[in-house]
């Protein structure tokens, strides 16, 4: 490998990539690693706070990559179609493109935070031939508990959004589970309102009025709202039911394993709602 090879490590604002940065710092101090964070401009305030903590623990800045055009631009390009798991234009245009432009054509080694206990995940692996991916946690046998230990030992712990949400990424991310949307409405009502406004733009594009239901969307040929099968207004009108179901799922998780840490109970309860894999570019 030529000396000019770059070493890069993407930070998503989630626990695994943050732990990997700390792990690389400790186990490969001789490497000059560029840490980067792809900022969509729609991240949670908790994520920005956590990045500041991580920079202090690493003793070096994390490069912020900004997509030169934000969500509103791409939303227009895609004619008011919300991104969805089936059409993830957000990740491609707001994360992958800026990353690959920043790396350019120089040879680079990308350190990816897939854990040893996640054999079915892939993470961001570029198709550009100059970027090769390595998986230190897989190679060194670091699993979920190992990640938690790294974060505890460093003193930074988990991002504070872990009190209500387990996935990093945009506040409006369609990978959020129903109870996480309720968490957003409770903790960040302004962001929930903004997400609702974006959803309403879909209505306007489809020639519908602001209080249309999910069925109206479907009739107008708009298949996707932010959360599957309902608008955010409809979801919030079921707030008590969603919270109740989430509480029961937490209790079941705690009953299955009495000493289960709260954060793992939250994770299991949320997976009981929807265990679709989150975006591996945005949530590692």
Residues at the interface with ligand SF4 (CB under 6 A): 40, 83, 88, 90-91, 94-95, 169-170, 173, 175, 279, 282
| Shortest reach from residue 169's CB to ligand SF4, in Å | 3
Q: Which residue, 137 or 175, has its beta carbon nearer to ligand SF4?
A: 175
Residue 128 beta carbon to ligand SF4: minimum distance, rounded to whole angstroms: 20
Radius of gyration, alpha carbons of the chain? 20
- Give the Cα separation of 78 and 74 in Å (integer): 6
Separation between Cα atoms, residue 49 and residue 52, nearest integer Å? 5
Residue nearest to ligand SF4 (CB): 169
Closer residue to ligand SF4 in complex, CB, 13/136: 13
Least distance to ligand SF4 from the beta carbon of 94, Å?
5
Nearest to ligand SF4 of 83, 136 (CB atom): 83
Please state, in angstroms and rounded to a whole number, the distance separating the CA atoms of residues 223 and 101. 32
Min separation Cβ 240 and ligand SF4, Å: 27
Q: If DSSP codes are grouped into helix, strand and coil, which group holds residue 111?
A: strand
Q: Give the Cα-Cα-Cα angle 201, 278, 185 (nearest 5 degrees).
A: 50
Residue 271 beta carbon to ligand SF4: minimum distance, rounded to whole angstroms? 17
Pick 98 or 136: Cβ nearer ligand SF4: 98
Angle between helices 239-256 and 262-273 (to 10 degrees): 120
Q: Which is nearer to ligand SF4, 9 or 279 (CB)?
A: 279
Q: Measured between alpha carbons, how far is residue 166 from residues 47, 80, 95, 101, 163 in Å? A: 12, 28, 20, 29, 8
Q: How far is the CB of 252 from ligand SF4 (least distance, A)?
A: 28
Give the shortest CB-43-to-ligand SF4 separation in angstroms: 8
**Which H/E stretch holds residue 110?**
strand 108-111
Nearer to ligand SF4, 91 or 231 (CB): 91
Distances (CA, A) of 33 to 21, 29, 140: 9, 9, 19
Instruction: Using the minimum distance from each CB to ligand SF4, give the nearer residue, 88 or 254.
Output: 88
Please give the Cα distance from 284 to 279 (Å, whole number). Answer: 8
């Amino acid at each position: 490998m030529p000396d000019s090879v770059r070493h890069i490590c993407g930070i998503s604002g989630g626990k695994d990539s943050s732990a990997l940065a700390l792990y690389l710092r400790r186990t490969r101090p001789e490497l000059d690693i560029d840490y980067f964070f792809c900022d969509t401009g729609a991240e949670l305030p908790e994520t920005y706070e956590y990045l500041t903590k991580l920079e202090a623990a690493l003793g070096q800045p994390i490069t912020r990559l900004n997509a030169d055009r934000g969500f509103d631009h791409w939303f227009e390009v895609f004619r008011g179609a919300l991104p969805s798991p089936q059409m993830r234009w957000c990740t491609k245009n707001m994360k992958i493109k800026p990353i690959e432009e920043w790396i350019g054509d120089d040879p680079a080694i990308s350190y990816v935070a897939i854990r040893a206990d996640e054999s079915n995940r892939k993470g961001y692996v570029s198709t550009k031939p100059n970027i090769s991916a390595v998986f230190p946690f897989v190679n060194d046998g670091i699993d979920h508990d190992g990640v938690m230990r790294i974060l505890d030992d460093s003193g930074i712990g988990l991002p504070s959004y872990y009190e209500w949400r387990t996935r990093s990424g945009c506040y409006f991310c369609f990978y959020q589970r129903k109870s996480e949307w309720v968490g957003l409405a409770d903790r960040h009502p302004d962001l929930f309102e903004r997400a609702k406004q974006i959803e309403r733009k879909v209505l306007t594009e489809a020639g519908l009025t602001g209080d249309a239901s999910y069925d109206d969307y479907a009739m107008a040929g708009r298949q996707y709202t932010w959360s599957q099968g309902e608008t955010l207004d409809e979801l919030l009108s079921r707030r008590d039911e969603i919270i109740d179901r989430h509480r029961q799922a937490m209790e079941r998780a705690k009953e299955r394993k009495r000493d289960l840490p709260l954060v793992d109970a939250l994770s299991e309860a949320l997976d009981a709602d929807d265990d679709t894999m989150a975006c591996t570019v945005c949530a590692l």
